[in-house]
Amino acid sequence: MDQRYKLLTRLAACAPRALAESHTPALSELHDGAVAVGLTGRLPVAAAAKARLHALFDVALEHGLVAVITHFVQEVHTRLPTVPPLPAPAQPLVSAHSRNGQALP
């Protein structure tokens, strides 16, 4: 079986959380494998995980694996902690007054 095909199969089967979490080696292993089979270029050693992830997303797009990206967005970015909405102000932020200064309802 072709090495590129094997790597693309692994990329398609990889859990999105494994790509997002820095303590799992999946991101580095997949990126290094993609470099080894010529699917992407080598990044500097100091390259951030984000650059490796973007390179793998490029590989996924180039080979029709859009689901890799959509599943990542669905699973990782939609489950991030959300900020609670601000409470409604006690007084209206805008008030209307007539020309003689009386407040309008």
Answer whether 22's CB lies under 8 Å from 54's CB. no
The confidence score (pLDDT) of residue 44 equals: 85
Instruction: Let me know the angle formed at the C-alpha of 19 by 59 and 9, rounded to the nearest 5 degrees.
Output: 50
The confidence score (pLDDT) of residue 46 equals: 74
CA distance 35 to 83: 39
* Residue 39 placed within a domain: yes
Which domain range does residue 7 map to? 3-77
* Residue 97 placed within a domain: no
* Residue 90 placed within a domain: no
State which H helix or E strand residue 37 sits in.
none
* Residue 19 placed within a domain: yes
* Residue 103 placed within a domain: no
Per residue in 69-104, pLDDT tens? 998 988 887 665 666 666 766 666 566 667 777 776
Q: Give the pLDDT mean for 24-28.
A: 85
* CA 8 and chain centroid, separation: 19
* Residue 67 placed within a domain: yes
- Residue 33: is its pLDDT beyond 70? yes
* Residue 87 placed within a domain: no
Phi, psi (degrees; rounded to nearest 5) at 102: -80, 140
Number of folded domains that form the chain: 1
